[in-house]
Amino acid sequence: MKKVLKNVSFVFLLLKMCIVFGQETSTQKRIVIDVGHGGKDSGAIGINGIQEKDIVMNIANAILKLNNKLDKPLAIYLTRYSDTLISLTDRTKLVKALKADLFVSLHYNHSDNPNTRGIEIYVAPSKSEYSEQSVWLAYQLQNQIKKQLGFESRGVKFANFQVLRYTIEYCSSVLFEIGFLSNLDEKSYFTNDTNVTMLAHTLLIFLIHADL
């Protein structure tokens, strides 16, 4: 029953998105923010039991809140709006259905070494018409985060993650590892609402100026 309810919920979400999509102007950028993990999939678990799925949800909600205050809000869609597990395949279907211009997947890292820190941004190694632009956007995002927030960076990297491998066929696509929950400083940073808002603001500025 739970699986049926999840599938019905996602179909309803797709329908809702497509209705809104039909009301947009043709020039408006359509951006899908993939809120990593959810439901029974907690993702990385950090110090004091903090969970990746919760932090990325907080950041995504903060982006939506700031976006709604703009005079001309971006057309931003989330792959989940609550603590729900959405399959990787369904996340890709949403990108395809919306004919998205950009897919940004939000995640948090974990390491056995508590001193490991820094952001990482991934793009798919597979080739498509969106590959070069994805790499360019990844570097732009890295530079924006370093400049505005002073975060250390572990670089832009290639990885064959399923959400990247499948979405790169439809639009520019990046996966953003925001930091390490296993690092005390980075974990503590995002338990502060003000810091979450600062990151959300930086990400929104990146989305506004992304050349798509």
- For residues 171 and 137, is the Cβ–Cβ distance under 8 A? no
Per-residue pLDDT tens for 1-59? Answer: 434 334 434 444 554 454 444 444 446 889 999 999 999 999 999 888 999 999 999 99
Report the number of secondary-structure helices (H) and strands (E) in the chain.
Answer: 7, 6
Residue among 70, 10, 46 nearest 205 (CA): 70
Global pTM reads 0.87
Angle between helices 193-209 and 52-68 (to 10 degrees): 60
List C-alpha distances in Å: 153 to 84, 106, 142. 30, 16, 7
154 within 8 A of 118, measured Cβ to Cβ = yes
pLDDT of residue 28: 80
pLDDT digits (tens, 9 = 90+) for 145-172: 999 999 999 999 999 999 999 999 999 9
